[in-house]
Amino acid sequence: MRGVILDCDSLGPEDLDFSALYDLPIEWTVYANCPASQVAERIADADIIMTNKTVLNADALSQAPKLKLITLTATGTNVVDLAAAREQGITVCNAVNYGTASVVQHVWSLLLALTTKLQSYSSSAMEGGWAKSEFFCLVEYPVRELAGKTLGIVGAGDLGMGVAKIAEAFGMQVLFAALPGRTYNEDLSRVPFSELLPMVDVLSLHCPLTPQTEGLMSTAELALMKESAILINTARGGLIDEPALVNALVAGQIGGAGLDVLSVEPPVNGNVLLDSNIDNLIVTPHSAWIARESRQRLMGQMVENISAFLEGKALRRVN
């Protein structure tokens, strides 16, 4: 049985152990990356495909008659035409909850850096500002405590709940959003989104990008927030209207933002948020998930998915 890994380098393979994957009864062909123009050729004889962000559209899938399993090294399934895969009888599996600890840690890194003015104080110390001080410390930039503040969370999956757990340790009140048009079970108390926005000191996004959530945070929503509020997004860039966020940050309409995602990644044609002059903004390059432990768990789930499939079972199946 032949297997193809289409974009191995996106996993940062240098510090990962692939031995369990390679011990499977699969003949693997591994590509560092795969341009769209070469996808059909590279999967033509494959029985199994592993892919992270390489797109598998209907045309490419139609040229892979032997294909039986696609296992995604990600939770999102948007890179695969699921309808086409279903028509061809191709099983599609994904990965879930492998990066929770890493992403939650990153959320708090962004939030703490913003509330403690970490970058500004570090720069001031390194560039000689501290040495010129008349006192033992610098108090140039306002620092805020999180204790007693309110954290709003959009999305109550493992990531949202993980962020909430840490918030409690900081002495924050946690509120979960109820998005318009959605129905929820009664296990968790939620506040309507438009009512929640003016209440929170921090808003952290942990929901999927869907037609309903695209542009969730735009001009009207940002205008409802406190001038001191901080927006954190480690989910998907498309949840935010990026020009609207720039305007809100520059105008002081909100207090700051910490983002690990943008609407187009990588931002080869630039992005309005990649502006070093916006000093209440931190942008990181979709790196929240990349702790080595997280990526190794991801590899473990790929082995589990494939092993289950070989035994005629379904694990983490999405279609």
The residues annotated as belonging to the active site are 236, 265, 286
Query: How far apart (Å, rounded) are the C-alpha atoms in residues 272 and 260?
Result: 14
Chain centroid to Cα 207, Å, comes to 10
Closest by CA position to 235, among listed 81, 67, 76, 113: 76
Buried b / exposed e over 178-206, threshold 16 CB at 10 Å, is bbeeeeeeeeeebeebeebbebbbbbbbb
Identify each DSSP E strand in the chain by its residue range: 2-5, 27-30, 48-51, 69-72, 91-93, 150-154, 173-178, 190-192, 202-205, 230-233, 256-259, 281-283
Query: How far apart (Å, rounded) are the C-alpha atoms in residues 254 and 203?
Result: 11
Residue 243: Cβ within 10 Å count: 12
**H helices within 11-157, ranges in order?**
19-22, 39-43, 58-62, 82-87, 100-115, 118-126
Query: How far apart (Å, rounded) are the C-alpha atoms in residues 173 and 147?
Result: 9
